[in-house]
Amino acid sequence: MTSVQSTYPEGRVSLREVGLRDGLQLVKTFPSTSAKQRWVRDEYAAGVRHFEVGSFLPAKTFPQFVDVREIVGTIAALPGAHGVALVLNERGANEALASGVAEIGSVVSATEEHSQANANRSRDAAIANVKRLCELRDASAHKPIVCAAISMALGCSIAGPVDPNEVLRLVEKCFEAGVDSVGIADTVGYAGPKQVGDLTRAAVKLAGSKPICVHLHDTRGMGIANASAALDEGARILDGSLGGLGGCPFAPGATGNVVFEDLVFLCESKGFATGIDIEKLVAVRAILRGEMPNEPLYGGLARAGLPRGGIAAKAA
Amino acid sequence: MTSVQSTYPEGRVSLREVGLRDGLQLVKTFPSTSAKQRWVRDEYAAGVRHFEVGSFLPAKTFPQFVDVREIVGTIAALPGAHGVALVLNERGANEALASGVAEIGSVVSATEEHSQANANRSRDAAIANVKRLCELRDASAHKPIVCAAISMALGCSIAGPVDPNEVLRLVEKCFEAGVDSVGIADTVGYAGPKQVGDLTRAAVKLAGSKPICVHLHDTRGMGIANASAALDEGARILDGSLGGLGGCPFAPGATGNVVFEDLVFLCESKGFATGIDIEKLVAVRAILRGEMPNEPLYGGLARAGLPRGGIAAKAA
């Protein structure tokens, strides 16, 4: 049994590299399995411990995730490394459980419009799906962590502005369904730091002893500012992708996830020790460039390197 | 006489577009005078009111600023528009005063090492230069605003980490010398939001009723997060350049100033009305692309556009 407390120790910041899943969600060409394994191992050597590894989605539609079981195995072989896989339905949940992955994520849209358009189901059906996932977890031998993410939680590409109280209602429903943690996702990068901070504060309060994960996209350049606000308001699990790999399905040409290496810099500069060596991390981008030469990579640290004398920080 | 209070109304955020000066500092090709004038006028039409217009530097070394007087004139002809020019010595100060520019900026390095290497003078000599500038202002007919910026205030490309108390000592000396406002510049983008917030809070307190300007570079992707922290701690004058135009002399290939249009989005999302129309502003980038096709432009708003339903904000 994987415990949330040992996976995401309270008081510490846990950064999850989601490039292998969210970063690859939209790509046309993608890395070989062995390149993915080097990607994981080299990041592990740089100090990364939390990885989103892929999705249990139909391999016909998403061939980039056909090797998800092997990546789950690669991570399981690394002491202290933690893998997260995404599932969207019961078939995927059963496959994920069978793979032995340490954490299973699912998604609930913040708006009815997006839920119907994106997943062809109501939000209530998505919550029921989360509940079923928790039941399957409880019946399983290894009992993985289950996390539900509220997508479009800070603005919806279909419905526009989203009422934070509506999001908090869904957060509550997910906890009632039995999840171990809830994610708040600014899927299309609509928010600024005030919105992210306000929602994080309320969600952290609601979650009590359970962790809130904040998943940000840098679509409008606010990613790092929003991460800073989330940290200020008590979020201790944040997602990012190496080089900001990954785009936005609702804004062609737009950037994807917040840049992981810049996120590490942010945390360290705020006094949160991440255990991650930024220069070693930046070097891993060579694997992505080699395997996906047409995918743009972003990030300030990769361009400019560390400051002379290192990262200025005082204990947060 | 130009008053600081009418130029930078208390309680409002004033955003200064510094592309015409800092953005052009390092470029090899630069816009024609008429293109610069279109740049200013189109930004004015988008709602921009504060412009850094150029430097009074030797035209032989900096041909991009040879037409600074004409740009000063262009801005003077636009009701409510405010121009700032940079000077580094008494010759430049006299030329700037003669041009009738509304505000004159000067620079003091935060470290002795950078002052000597960059300006070939001590910090005391730089402060004496600021004092002389204030005397010339007092003796002038139109009495422009004088602002001194502390460069490398959050980390130095030569000396490394910078003691904030040392910066505050220089801020105090600049006010004693008679300046109307002081700028804090993260010239090489070394800081995270905690450092920027801490220094801003202390400088704002020290400045009393006089304004503090915060000038940030996005070298390590922290620009918008740092701007957010500066706003949180009371800074109400912030610099940025359209498209993030301008690089970093100390990190080849690195990005320059914080992206102006993303800065507008940040402020609006935090409830600070800027009076600036982001879509009109983004359209001005076409002038930069046309005149300087080899200069990279950055920014999330230009790529992704505004969120559906507009910018979420509550009154700050």
A269 CB within 8 Å of a chain B CB:
yes
A195 CB within 8 Å of a chain B CB:
yes
DSSP secondary structure letters along B113-172: HHHHHHHSS-HHHHHHHHHHHHHHHHHSSS--EEEEEEETBTBBTTTBS--HHHHHHHHH
Report if residue B309 sits inside a domain: no
- Residue whose tokens read 């730091």: A193
Task: Select the residue of A253, A271, A312 nearest B161 (Cβ to Cβ).
Answer: A312
Report if residue B5 sits inside a domain: no
Contacts of A205 (CB under 8 A, 6+ apart): none
- Phi and psi at residue A4, in whole multiples of 5°? -60, -40
Residue A248's pLDDT is: 72
Of all residues in chain B, the one with the smallest CA distance to A249 is B304
Which are the catalytic amino acids of B?
Answer: 248
Asked if B155 and A299 come within 8 Å (Cβ–Cβ), the reply is: no
Task: Select the residue of A221, A304, A314 nearest B299 (Cβ to Cβ).
Answer: A221
From chain A, the residues in CB contact with B161 under 8 A are 309-310, 312
Sign of the alpha-carbon torsion through A68, A73, A74, A78: positive
Asked if A304 and B220 come within 8 Å (Cβ–Cβ), the reply is: yes
Cα radius of gyration rounded to whole Å, chain B: 18
- Phi and psi at residue B153, in whole multiples of 5°? -70, -15
Total number of domains in chain A? 1
Of all residues in chain A, the one with the smallest CA distance to B232 is A194
CA distance A153 to A146: 19
Of all residues in chain A, the one with the smallest CA distance to B316 is A194
Number of H helices, E strands in chain A: 13, 8
A301 CB within 8 Å of a chain B CB:
yes
Cα radius of gyration rounded to whole Å, chain A: 18
Report if residue A314 sits inside a domain: no
Residue A58's pLDDT is: 87
Task: Select the residue of A160, A305, A312 nearest B191 (Cβ to Cβ).
Answer: A312
Asked if A251 and B161 come within 8 Å (Cβ–Cβ), the reply is: no
Asked if B155 and A308 come within 8 Å (Cβ–Cβ), the reply is: yes
Q: Burial of A165 by CB count in 10 Å (0-12 exposed, 13-18 middle, 19+ buried)?
A: exposed
Which are the catalytic amino acids of A?
Answer: 248
Joined together, the tokens standing for residue A24 give 């690859």
Contacts of A313 (CB under 8 A, 6+ apart): A268, A269, A270, A271, B192, B194
Q: Burial of A26 by CB count in 10 Å (0-12 exposed, 13-18 middle, 19+ buried)?
A: middle
Residue A312's pLDDT is: 85
Asked if B314 and A191 come within 8 Å (Cβ–Cβ), the reply is: no
Joined together, the tokens standing for residue A105 give 């994520």
If you ran DSSP here, which 8-state letter would residue A207 be given? H
Q: What does chain B come to in residues?
A: 316
Asked if B221 and A259 come within 8 Å (Cβ–Cβ), the reply is: yes
Report if residue A310 sits inside a domain: no
Residue A125's pLDDT is: 98
Residue A17 bridge partners (DSSP): A51, A240
Residue A313's pLDDT is: 78
Contacts of B33 (CB under 8 A, 6+ apart): B67, B70, B71
From chain A, the residues in CB contact with B314 under 8 A are 194, 198
Q: What is the tens place of the pLDDT at every residue in B11-34? A: 899 999 999 999 999 888 999 999
CA angle B190-A43-A143, nearest 5°?
120
Choose from A216, A219, A269, A281 for mutation: most chain B CBs within 10 A. A269
Residue A11's pLDDT is: 84
Report if residue B314 sits inside a domain: no
Of all residues in chain B, the one with the smallest CA distance to A218 is B300
Decide: A103 and A85 in contact? Cβ < 8 Å.
Answer: yes
How far B266 CA sits from the closest chain A CA (Å)?
Answer: 6
Residue A315's pLDDT is: 45
Decide: B183 and B151 in contact? Cβ < 8 Å.
Answer: no
Report if residue A182 sits inside a domain: yes
CATH code (residue B214)? 3.20.20.70
pLDDT tens track, chain A, 316 positions = 678 989 999 889 999 999 999 999 988 899 999 999 999 999 999 999 999 999 999 888 899 999 999 999 999 999 999 999 999 999 999 999 999 999 999 999 999 999 999 999 999 999 999 999 999 999 999 999 999 999 999 999 999 999 999 999 999 999 999 999 999 999 999 999 999 999 999 999 999 999 999 999 999 999 999 999 999 999 999 999 999 998 777 666 677 899 999 999 999 999 999 999 999 999 999 999 999 999 999 999 999 999 999 998 754 4
CB atoms within 10 A of CB B61: 8
CA distance B83 to B73: 9
Asked if B228 and A228 come within 8 Å (Cβ–Cβ), the reply is: yes
Report if residue B129 sits inside a domain: yes
Of all residues in chain B, the one with the smallest CA distance to A198 is B314
Decide: A226 and A186 in contact? Cβ < 8 Å.
Answer: yes
> Which chain A residues in 234-263 lie under 8 Å from chain B, judged by CB atoms?
248, 251, 253-255, 259, 262
Residue B314's pLDDT is: 57
A224 CB within 8 Å of a chain B CB:
yes
pLDDT < 50 stretches in chain B: 315-316
How far A269 CA sits from the closest chain B CA (Å)?
Answer: 5
Asked if B221 and A255 come within 8 Å (Cβ–Cβ), the reply is: no
CB atoms within 10 A of CB A92: 20
From chain A, the residues in CB contact with B160 under 8 A are 307-310
Report if residue B308 sits inside a domain: no
Q: What is the extent of the structural domain holding B168? A: 12-303
ipTM, interface predicted TM-score of the complex: 0.96
CA distance A308 to B112: 16
SS3 A160: strand
